Every structure is written in structure tokens, then in C-alpha cells.
Amino acid sequence: MKMSRKYLSLALACMMVAAGLSGCGSSSGTSTTAAGADGETTAAAGESGAADESTTVGENAAAEESTAAGETSAAAGETAASQEEATAPAASINIVEQNGLAYAPLEVMEKQKLIEKHYNGEVTVTWSTLNSGASITEAFASGDVQVGGMGIAPAVTGALTEGVGMKIAAAMSSQPNKIMTNDSSIQSLADIGDKKIALVNTGSIQHILLAMKAKKELGDAHALDNNITAMSHPDGMAALISGAVSLQLTTSPYVFQEEAQGITEVDTLTDVWPEDNTFIVMCVSEKLHDDNPELYQAVLDAEAEAIDWINNNHDEAAELLCDDLGTDKDTVLGWLEEPGCGYSTTLKGVMDMADFMAEEGFLKVDPASDISDLAFEGVQGS
């Protein structure tokens, strides 16, 4: 019986050794039994440790799997969000402006990439400059331009002319316009005689402002039509300073630069066109408006942001614009703070000019019955 217990204890001890546990080594039956009991306890502890280790490994694996799954899910979410954000189709757009401080919102839109910011997709924006609203109207008609800044008069003509395919999308600016002369003997329109007046083009807003003044002072809106010589604002200023022409009807910043050269204003235009009336508007092609309303809205939002930024950041705006205007920041800041220099998306005076143009024979098309003939829906003011 003792032999059997001894062999049994030895067997148990060896089994524990095989399991990698201690407890084998005594030949005493009592000791062996005690060792066997300890071995059973140790075995139990080993099983518990193994179970705990197994549980920990399992938990770690589960945690790692959960983390990996979470990261994968987050990455998928980011991709989905990115795909959701870029919902608009890829597009391209050509924008044209003219010379002068009145077009500052377009300069800000370009330099701060505001259309790219507001369009919910990929867009390529190309910028260029032309010298007159008539040239921009032709570019609209040919399909080469989708957005353009121009004076009210050519905008009215273009919107009403079949085949041009453009309308006013928003106002842009109001600016001083003055009839400037290098001839001290010219004090009023009656003194002009046959002397030449430089302005950007017949049919331009400067032409219509001259006609409004001629109607009031001379009784005939067309009295000075034959005095007009077409020149861009910079070329007209150069001609006036050199004496090649006697007068120029121009806008900012050219009126400020000419005044600095001792050139004087003939007579104010504010009695026929208040300085806070709209001067420049932003026009958009009907095709862009109809085919890509998201891009159309991005253009509107970009202009609104640019105008708000200029109005609230004169100092920074002067810094941004001074290189293009060919002068220093402080000079541009002074111009921006002139009372007649303003930026707004709300139209003012457009229908007044459209009605005058119709009444005085400056339109070869049917006149506008209301602002909807000239502007897209949602445009503020008239």
C-alpha cells in the first residue's frame, strides 16, 4: 500500500514537472503527499495564471482589434466626409476686370482665392484685364468670359441685347467720377467748344454721365458726343497731363492722381449722379448662372466676402492693392477713405440710368421694363 502511494505521489510529481511546475524531489511518503498537495495547489495556481494570461492576451487582442477597427472606421469616415464635401463638378471660369480702384473687390477675390474657397469642388479661375465695358460685352457674346466687372451703361446694353447672354449679378462699387481739364479757361461745359474729351468709350458709363450733365447744362444729351476720343483711363490721364487732350472724364484713382498734378475739375457731376450711386457692377453669363448654380453662388459669396473685407480692413486692403495701383500703401489708404469711394453688393441708380439711356436714344434695343430685365433673381436694389 505504501509502495502504491509512493508510486502515485511520484507520478503526480512528475506530471507537475512535465507541466513546468515544482514539487518533485522528496522520497518520504508524508513529504511526498505534502508535496503532492502543494503541487496540486501550485497546479491550480498555474491553471489560474494561465487562465489570467489567456484572458489578458485575449483582452489585448480584442482591444487592438477594436482600435484597428476604429481607426479604419475613422479613416473611412474622413474619406466619406471628404467625398461629401466635394460635391460640385470640376469647373473652370474666366473673369475679366478693368483699370481702377473701383475693381478692388475683384483684385481681392483673385489674391485671396475666394472663389476657390467658396466653391464646393475643383475650379480653375483665369483672370484678365480689358479696357472697356464694350470689349467685355463682346467677350461675353463670344463665350470667352463668364464673369466681368463693368460700368452700368454697358451692363444695361449688354443685358438687353440678344445674343450677349449676360446679366447683372451684383453691384460692386461707387466711385468719384469727374470731368478734369488742364485748361484753366474751361470752367463749365459751355466753355468746351470743340476741345477733345478723353473717356474709355462711347456707350460707357462715363459717356452717359457726360450726356446727363450735357442734358442739364446744355439742354442736349448728345451735345458733346463728337468731342469724345476713346482712351483707357491710364492712357487718357497720360494724354491729359501731356496736353494731348484738354479734358478727361475719369474715375478713381486717376482723378486723385491728376489733382496731385494741378489738373482741376470742370464742374461737378454729383448733381446728375450722386457719388453713392452704383458705378461698377459684376455681370455673369446666363450660361454659368443656369448650368452651374453652385459656381454662380460661389462667385456671389466671394464678392460679398471681398467687399466686407475691404470695408472693414482699409489698412490691409491698401497693402494688398498698392502694387497693382503702382503707388505706396499710404496713398491707397487715403483713396480708400475718400467719401465717394464705396463698395457694396446692393444696386443703386441702375434703373435711373437705364431709363435715361432709353429716353435719350442711347439704346438700340427695347428698354428695360424693370430690374428683372437687367439682373438675375435675388439681386438687391435697383
Q: pLDDT digit string (tens) for 103-123?
A: 999 999 999 999 999 999 999
Mean pLDDT, the chain, as a whole number? 84
pLDDT recorded at residue 266: 96
**Choice between 65 and 209, residue whose per-residue pLDDT is larger:** 209
pLDDT in tens, 317-353: 999 999 999 999 999 999 999 999 999 999 999 999 9
pLDDT range class, residue 202, cuts 50, 70, 90: very high
pLDDT recorded at residue 301: 98
pLDDT in tens, 360-372: 999 999 999 999 9
Q: Is 285 within 8 Å of 146 (Cβ atoms)? A: yes
Is the pLDDT at 249 greater than 60? The verdict is yes
**Choice between 1 and 140, residue whose per-residue pLDDT is larger:** 140
Mean pLDDT within 281-288: 98
pLDDT recorded at residue 88: 84
d(CA 300, CA 381): 15
d(CA 192, CA 197): 9
d(CA 149, CA 170): 10
Is the pLDDT at 11 greater than 60? The verdict is no
Angle (nearest 5°) at CA 18 between 13 and 21: 65
Mean pLDDT within 268-275: 95
Torsion angle of C-alpha atoms 100, 372, 146, 206, degrees rounded to 10: -30
Mean pLDDT within 148-159: 98
d(CA 111, CA 228): 35
From 62-71, 137-146, 322-331, the region with the lowest mean pLDDT: 62-71
From 48-52, 82-86, 231-235, the region with the lowest mean pLDDT: 48-52
d(CA 134, CA 230): 12
Mean pLDDT within 25-40: 37
From 130-134, 182-186, 220-224, the region with the lowest mean pLDDT: 130-134
From 82-86, 132-136, 206-210, 224-228, the region with the lowest mean pLDDT: 82-86
Of the ranges 11-15, 83-87, 113-117, which is most confident?
113-117
% of the chain residues with pLDDT over 90: 76
pLDDT range class, residue 3, cuts 50, 70, 90: very low
Is the pLDDT at 24 greater than 70? The verdict is no
